[in-house]
Chains A and B, each alone.
Chain A
Amino acid sequence: MADVLVYVLHNGGAFNKNSLGAVSEAAARAAEIGGSAHAAVLGGEELTDELVGSLGAYGATKVFRAKGTAGLAAPVVDFLDAVIEQHGHRYAIFGGGLLGFEIGGGLAARRSAGLTSEVTEVKAEGGELVAHRPILGDSQISVSHYRGDLGIIIGRINAFEVRQSGSGAAEIVDVDVAYQDFSNAAELIIRGEQRGEAVDIEGANVLVAVGRGFGSAENLSLADALAGAFGGNTAVAATRAVVDAGWAAYASQIGQTGKTVAPKLYLAAGISGAIQHKVGMQSSENIVAINKDANAPIFEFSDLGIVGDLNKILPKLTDAIKAKKG
């Protein structure tokens, strides 16, 4: 048997897009190795038969459902461990995201399994699945081959396309999980707090993206002024470093745990171009970056790169754009 199990994350009665992508991917790959794709969901009353069954549309033939606190990794590890123990899944796939790392790591320990993070492509080879992952700043691809009973694949964010391939509703199997003491030791006091005001960066044509290189919250006024000069449908977006520091709103964050954007113009200043940022903006039509470090990774995926100090360049650029627009 070569079945593939996918953990599906959800919040507020909706499934996570990356998890749905993982279900689609699992369905396509399982078919190539003679197996089926199964999904696993954990939560409370919000997981109705209708909602859970709808995973069938993405290619899951069966969905395992357990009661527990959504948003924590450890209960899911107990749950997946029990399901795999009973059904002998050959692979477990996670869409991108934080919980994927935490659950995937826990499950690897629990079942002595091999694990690959940041997978961008899964392929079937000789009845087995192999995982392609970029390494060393995306300069090389490494291919993981698995030994043992279970192989764990943690996708990079947006790596797996959401595809509706299945027919009808999936069969639902309720599972009673015997949780370990430590698995429910963490108490989730607040989940998903939206810090800062609501801003729409997904609908903008032009994004001025700000990074830690600005040095302070006050200095972000340089970016606001530039966005103002572009006018129209322009917004200021940020990296997680800037959001964690409290300089910008969470809603303005691009990247792995933020938004995925694809504006006509993405203009970054003071951003290094970490993988977790890149995955949220690499589909932008035109990428311009200003950074004082000529070796910053962002220059490797910019269409126009300017090696220089944003404090010198932005004010003049703002004036020049204003002048150009007349």
Chain B
Amino acid sequence: MALKIAVLVKEVPDAAVQKKIDPATGRIDRSGEKNLNPYDTHAIECAVQLKEGTEVEVEEIIAVTMGPESAVRALHKAVSLGADRSIHLSDDALAGSDVQATGYALAKVLESESPDLVLLGQQSDDGESYTVGSVVADYLKAPSLSQVIKLDVVDGGLRLERQAEYGYDTLQIPFPAVVSVGDAINEPRYPSLKAIMGAKKKPLETKSATDAGIDTGMVGTEGSKVRCGDFHAPAAKAAGQIIEDEDTNETVEKIVAWLDERKLI
């Protein structure tokens, strides 16, 4: 058995950038600095560790993204972290897709590659729907689990552990499978300078919606079943007091006084 692994990655606004909504389009304002979704680096690391390990042979790791032109940078980053090649699904017809439409479109791309294992991050830093993996899996008719923090190849399938509502679950699933990994699964490595330089030379295929066999009536703003709008600020909570710790003795005195005033000691 040699595994073909696909990792779904997304380009998101950099964590240091203040994220905002563009009131005109109702979508996240993507004009600022962008980066590979940090949660996806755990999925790539998971694939690379399987490839480096001895449990199973890994034939190749393919990074797949759906997003605007700029999203190639997320693919370059994914390749610098260990993917062998990448696929960029990019088409104006896809803009404004909701979670279900996004999962459908990604599943169409994956269908043509038939990977044994599809890996995802636990959440996208901007969309935070936590559900793209489950949508993709149902379209692919593959077993799926999310929040996985331990993954091993056992008995020709995967032995997985994850924390669910009542404690830790241990599960076994066959290939092909769709797995979203939790951020506790590993400590992603930093790419080497050589890997960063070489990333642009690795094969990158750009696909339009038609190339991928996507029914354009099912994607984009028009094909999506959720319309987000009426953005407003939540009820504000009074801002708390902030102390910058410069002289720790003084800081501690202030904390104790604060606690004492509220009869908490």
**Which residues of chain A have a CB within 8 Å of any CB of chain B?**
9, 11, 16, 71, 73-74, 77, 97-99, 101-110, 112-118, 134-148, 151, 154, 180-183, 185-195, 206, 230, 240-241, 243-245, 250, 257, 264-265, 275, 286-288, 294, 299, 301-309, 312-313, 316-317, 320-321, 324-325
Further pairs besides A147-B226, A304-B240, A312-B248: 6, Cβ < 8 Å: A104-B131, A109-B103, A109-B134, A183-B143, A188-B169, A308-B243
Within 8 A of A (CB), among B232-265: 232-234, 237, 240-245, 248-249, 251-253, 255-256, 258-260, 262, 264-265
Which residues of A have CB within 8 Å of B143?
Answer: 74, 182-183, 185-186
Q: How far is the CA of A1 from the CA of B240 in the complex (A)?
A: 48
Contact A305 B243 (CB under 8 A): yes
**Which residues of chain B have a CB within 8 Å of any CB of chain A?**
19-21, 28, 98-100, 103-104, 107, 126, 128-139, 141-147, 149, 162-174, 182-184, 218, 224-234, 237, 240-245, 248-249, 251-253, 255-256, 258-260, 262, 264-265
Contact A104 B168 (CB under 8 A): no
Enumerate 26 A-B pairs (CB-CB under 8 Å) in ascending A order. A9-B165, A71-B164, A98-B146, A98-B164, A98-B165, A101-B130, A102-B144, A106-B135, A109-B107, A110-B138, A114-B98, A115-B225, A118-B128, A139-B234, A145-B226, A148-B225, A151-B225, A182-B141, A185-B174, A186-B145, A190-B168, A191-B164, A245-B184, A264-B264, A288-B259, A306-B243
Q: A143-B230, A191-B166, A241-B184 are in contact. Are A312 and B138 (CB under 8 A)?
A: no
Interface centre among B245, B248, B252, B253 (most CB of A within 10 A): B252
Contact B99 A194 (CB under 8 A): no
Q: A265-B264, A286-B262 are in contact. Are A316 and B249 (CB under 8 A)?
A: yes
Which residues of B have CB within 8 Å of A142?
Answer: 21, 228-231
Name the CB-closest residue of B to A253. Answer: B163
Contact A99 B164 (CB under 8 A): yes
Number of A-B contacts (CB under 8 A): 268
Q: A182-B142, A188-B169, A192-B168 are in contact. Are A113 and B100 (CB under 8 A)?
A: yes
Which residues of A have CB within 8 Å of B130?
Answer: 101, 117-118
CB distance from A278 to the nearest CB of B (A): 11
Which residues of A have CB within 8 Å of B245?
Answer: 306-309, 312-313
CB distance from A79 to the nearest CB of B (A): 14
Contact A147 B225 (CB under 8 A): yes
Q: How far is the CA of A114 from the CA of B131 in the complex (A)?
A: 12
Contact A115 B131 (CB under 8 A): yes
Contact B146 A101 (CB under 8 A): yes
Contact B240 A115 (CB under 8 A): no
Q: How far is the CA of A189 from the CA of B157 in the complex (A)?
A: 14
Contact B169 A105 (CB under 8 A): no
Q: In the complex, which of the residues B131, B237, B264 contacts A105, with contact meaning CB atoms closer than 8 Å?
A: B131
Q: In the complex, which of the residues B99, B184, B230 contacts A115, with contact meaning CB atoms closer than 8 Å?
A: B99
Contact A305 B242 (CB under 8 A): yes
Contact A112 B218 (CB under 8 A): yes
Q: In the complex, which of the residues B144, B163, B225, B262 contacts A240, with contact meaning CB atoms closer than 8 Å?
A: B163
Q: A105-B133, A182-B143, A240-B163 are in contact. Are A324 and B256 (CB under 8 A)?
A: yes
Contact B184 A313 (CB under 8 A): no
Q: A106-B137, A144-B228 are in contact. Are A117 and B129 (CB under 8 A)?
A: yes
